[in-house]
Each structure stands twice: as structure tokens, then as C-alpha cells.
Structure 1
Amino acid sequence: MIDLNARPMNEKEGSICPLCQENLSSMKDYQRHVGRHQEQLALFALPSLPTDDDAQIDENASGPHTYASLEDLNVPYGQTKEETPLEPLVATKPVSGPMKELEDLSPPSKTKKGARKDSRKLSEDIINHVLLKLDAIDTAGIPEFTIKQLRSFLHTRHLETSNRIMSDSVVYHYLAIGKLGRGEPIKLFMKDAVIDFEERLYARDDTWPETKEKLIKQGITRNGQVPCLEYKGHAMTGHVPILRYLSRDLGRYEGQSNEDKYLTDLVSDIYVDWRAQWVRNLKEGPRAEYKDTAAPQYYDLIGKYYTDREGPFLLGDEISYTDFLVYVSIDNDTRTKTIPENLPESLIKFKAAFEARPKLVEYIKQG
């Protein structure tokens, strides 16, 4: 415990806090400052559960070296009050007290997959353990209003942390239709960004209506549409908004300037119009109007935006989330045999650069 009534060795030179070394101008300021430290220590010191070592700890605590006085702390730097040689630190006793309690909550797993689950379980157990400890904090002498505010703040922060920990896994929901459709840009994006994710694919058959209802009840999708992405506690739908969200969350893939962001949004909106026509052509059967008119017009327009800057991507040498959309449009039209015979040169260069992305090469080679 810090003695608030202790006097500095030289009062004319002010008072120095023994904890943070701040120089206070008066004794009154010193007492007020150190008093705040005492409040902090009282609020955040979590009492440990009884252990087998408590008796030994109590015995040691009663010795002559339980605390240091202000006189001890005001010895000039580089000197000690008594020239007592320091003994080397040796781990002679196992960890005990609060750290031992946390260590015993969950043993580590030997497998990578099991380690991820054990890590989440351990994190959850630690938070629950700390929440129980909060209720046992000794708050004697602290204003009740301050305690209520502190506990409300700590509980809120721990709940937020718990939600983040429990939602650290990313789950990608889509139909089992290969590389066609709106889900593929998200999948390619996460592979390129090295986002570890679990993939759940659903059959597009007579079981789909029942599966869709389950997803709605689980809160993963509100209208039954996929792709869906569970990410950091959020269940998101809409493949273009998902890509924009991921880009902003990562701080990458949408450029640096407002002009960059405008361009990525603009071209992605053009892609959305194309996708609607592509889906219609797929559902209604081959339409000459789409293959001969709509698709060529789309690629001709997109190609012009890709010629505005040097570099293979929409923003030049920097890849953006829109590039994933445009690449999948080329890929999907190729698979449905609706790709124009002659693509703009800018898109041919873009396609080659995209397929050479280190994180995507092997996946794209799978066909």
C-alpha cells in the first residue's frame, strides 16, 4: 500500500510519484495523484480463488519485505539502498493463483483444427472466469456511482470481446454449383486476402426449400438468398456489398482516393446489371439477344475503364474488389459459352494478371 502521508526527501523540489515517476508540484497534488493509483489498484486487482499455495503466500507476505517505502523508491538511479546482490531468477515453484486458474481452464490440442476450437473454448472460459471475478472486487471506500459505471463498462467490454472471440470463424454459405454465380467472387477474394473460412455448400435440388428455411430461422439470411457470409459476428448477404465490407474492414482492395472508390463502385454497378442479364439467360435458355448484344456491349464498356490507367487492374497495379467481379464475369460467360469471340485487349491483359495471383494460381488451375 502506498503511504499518502509520506513526505518526499526534498519538498522544495516537489513530489515524485513512485509508480509512474510523474513530478507533482505540491504535496496536495501528490496525495491526490497517488490516491488515483490506489483506486485503480483496488478496482482492477482480481482476487484469486483459494489454492494449495495460499498458506505459503500468506507466510511470505508477513515477512519484512512485503512493500517498499517512499524512502526506498527515492534512491538515485543506478544505486540501491543496500548493496545486496540479486539472486538469479529460477522457476522453483509452479504457477499458482489467478494465472494458474486460467492455465488450467483448457488444455491445448495437438491438432491444428482442434487447437482452433480449444482456443475459442479457452477464450470463452477465461471471459466467464473474469466476469465472476468482477463481482468479487473489493470496492470499499469507492463511490457507489463510480463502481456502477466501472462494472457496466467492464461487463460491456467483456461481452463485446466474447462476441468477437466466439465469432472469429468465417463461414461461407452458397450453392453447390461449381464456380458459377454470385458466390465465386467472394470465395476468390477471401483466398487472395488469406482469410481462413469454412465452406458450406447446399444442393440445388428438392431439398433446397427446406435448407433455405433453416438458414432463415438461424438468422444467416433474411430472405433465403445466398451467398451468405458469417464474418466477425455478422451474417451478411449480397455479394457486392459483402466484398465492399471486407475491403473496408481490411483497409485494402478499394483504392486510396475518393476517385479510386468511385471507380470501383461504378464498374461494380455495371457488373451487377450484367449479372442480372446473365442469370436470365441461364434460366430462360440461350438467348441470341444476350450473346450477340448484351454481353459484347458489357465487355466493350468495361474494357474502356481498364484502359484508363497503366497496369492490368482497374486501378492500375493495385487490385480491387471489383476485379474479382469482372474476372468471374469473364469466367462464367466462358463456361456458359456466351463469351464474345474478341475481348478488349485491356481485359485480356487483366485476365492473365489476375490468374497469376500467387494465392489464386493453384485454385484457378483446378478448372
Structure 2
Amino acid sequence: MPTTKTFGVPSPANRAIGGVPEIHYFDSLSRGRGQVIRLMCEDAGLAYKDVRYSFDEFPSFKREQLTDLNPLGSLPLVLLNDKILTQSYAILRHFARQLGAYEGETEEEKYWTDVICDIVIDWRTKFVDAYFSDGREQTYGDYCRNTRPVFLKGLERHLESHSTSTSGSFVLGQKISYADLVLYQICHDDQLTQDGRAGLKEYPRLSQLVDAVENRPNVKEFLASDRYLG
């Protein structure tokens, strides 16, 4: 059986999105596409239910229930009252609109937030393909040497040169967006936020963004709590 835990107390943010979201995802520590949904919940002060499946029990859930909830049979999946929400980045954008935050105010800001998110989606696809391949020792090594630097350099240049990003630490300068959480999460999962930011030493603007996300009061508290699993 999956483990289910409820975190937080329902808040005005929960009223804004219509209730307490029930996040279904793999039991993969504090990593993956499902984790960034948890991260938004933590930052926004949303109470949420965390439903985690071991990799052994997931096939049974997929066969018996998941395809009725999501025809693609994939996680993460969020249940919210009578709604079934799928696709992690669409869920983030949906919550952002309901909360009136995390996506920018002008069309230019919303566009730029989407741009950074879409770059990270491409990056994560390459990361997952390399890290979970049968020949991981070679494919992940090749990825770290050749593929990851392309994304790091490109994102660094975007953030240090685009007018929207140069006024502060976040993608939108002074305002946090869902793109900051998405970018933070891939850096975390790819072991770039650990060891004193050693993996980001050549990318000071990205390191600045990582620090800014981790210093958000609710995120900082989360990272120091037993809800954070590494």
C-alpha cells in the first residue's frame, strides 16, 4: 500500500485553489517532477496530502487504478475534490493562475517564465534518459560532460542578460515564479545544489537563483524538516 501523509493546515491559499491537493507520486526521496509540486505547496503555504508509491507497488496501482484516472498511466497526478489533474508543469501553471502568483503579471513576464520552464523540460528529459539508461555509467558520464553544460551555459546567459531577470535573483527578478521552482528542482536532482554548489561554481547567476529559492522562509523551513527526504 502507498504511504499517505498530510502536511500543513488548510490556509487561504487552499481556498484559492479549491481544497487540499492529494499528490500521487513515486517514493523517490525529494526528487522528480512530483517534487516540484510539493515545493510549490510548501512555498505557497498550501496544506497537501502526500501519497507515495514504491516502485514495486506502482505496477499494481497502474494496472488497477491509474489508467482510469490518467489514460497515459503516468505520475505525478493530483486529486483535488472532484478534479483529476495531470502533467506536472500544467499543474504548476494551473495553481499559479488560481493563486494569482508564480507566473508574472504582464504577458512578457508570463512568456519569459514559460521560456525558462520549457528549457528545463528539455534538460530534464536529457537527464532522465542518461541517468536511468541501462548503460548509466557511460550515458550519464557523457551527459555530464557534453549535454548538461549546454543547458547550464544557456540558462546562465539568459538569466544574466535578459532585462526581466537582471533586477533580482529570480527568473522574474524580484518575484518568484513557478519557473524558479522547476529550475531549482532539476539542479537539486542533478546534484548541483549540494556540496557547497560545487557543480554551479562556473554559473554564479544560477547559484544565486538556487540560494534565493532555498532562502524563501517556507522553503528554508521545509528543507530543515523531516518532510524533506534528500
Normalised to the residue count of structure 2, the TM-score between the two structures is 0.80
Q: Is the 8 A contact 1:296 1:340 kept in 2?
A: no
Task: Name the residue aligned to 1:214.
Answer: 64
1:281 to 130, 152, 162: 130
Superposed, which structure 2 residues align to 1:155-170 within 5 Å? 168-170=19-21
The aligned counterpart of 1:161 is none
Q: Aligned residue for 1:270?
A: 119
Give the count of matched residue pairs: 201
Deviation string 1:256-292 (CA, Å, 9 cap, x unpaired) is 1110011011111111111111111111113232101
Alignment correspondent of 1:333: 190
Which residue identity is paired with 2:58? W
Cα deviation, residue 335, structure 1: 7.1
For residue 45 of structure 2, what is the aligned residue in structure 1?
A: 194
Q: Which residue number corresponds to residue 180 of structure 2? A: 323
Map Cα deviations across residues 201-240 of structure 1 (whole Å, 9 max, x no partner): 00112x22111123325x4322210011113532111111
Unaligned 5+ runs, structure 1: 1-112, 117-163
Q: How does 1:230-309 map to 2 (within 5 A)?
A: 230-284=79-133, 285-286=136-137, 287=139, 288-307=141-160, 308=162, 309=166
Contact 2:193 2:199 in 1 (8 A): no
Q: Say if 2:208 is the partner of 1:349.
A: yes
* Cα distance per residue 1:28-85 (max 9 Å; x no partner): xxxxxxxxxxxxxxxxxxxxxxxxxxxxxxxxxxxxxxxxxxxxxxxxxxxxxxxxxx
- Whether the aligned pair in 1 keeps the contact of 2:25 and 2:52 (CA below 8 Å) is yes
Mapped to 1, the partners of 2:167 and 2:193 lie a distance apart of 31
CA shift, 1:196, in A, is: 1.0
Residue in structure 2 matched with residue 178 of structure 1 by the alignment: 29
Task: State, as a whole percentage, how many aligned pairs show the same letter.
Answer: 28
Secondary structure at 1:347 match in 2: helix
Please say if residues 169 and 208 of structure 2, whose CA atoms lie closer than 8 Å, have aligned partners that are also in contact.
Answer: yes
How many Å separate the matches in 2 of 1:314 and 1:273?
17
Q: Shift of residue 180 of structure 1?
A: 2.0
Q: Distance in 2 between matches of 1:174 and 1:335?
A: 23
Instruction: Report the alpha carbon displacement of residue 336 of structure 1 after superposing the two structures with TM.
Output: 11
Which residue identity is paired with 2:64?
K
> By how many angstroms is 1:332 displaced?
0.7
Q: In the alignment, residue 203 of structure 2 is paired with which amino acid? A: P
SS in 1 for 2:115: helix
CA distance in 2 between counterparts of 1:237 and 1:320 reads 20
Distance 2:177 2:202 in 1: 21
Shift, 1:341, TM fit: 5.6
CA contact (8 A) 1:291 1:340 kept: no
The structure carrying a bigger strand percent of its residues is: 2
User: Bigger relative contact order, structure 1 or 2, given CA contacts below 8 A and separation 6+?
Assistant: 2
SS at match of 2:132: helix
Question: Residues 255, 202 of structure 1: CA spacing in aligned structure 2 closer, same or farther, 3 A cutoff?
Answer: same
Q: Decide which structure has the larger Cα Rg and report it.
A: 1
Pick closer, same or farther for the CA change 1:281–1:274 going to 2, 3 Å. Answer: same
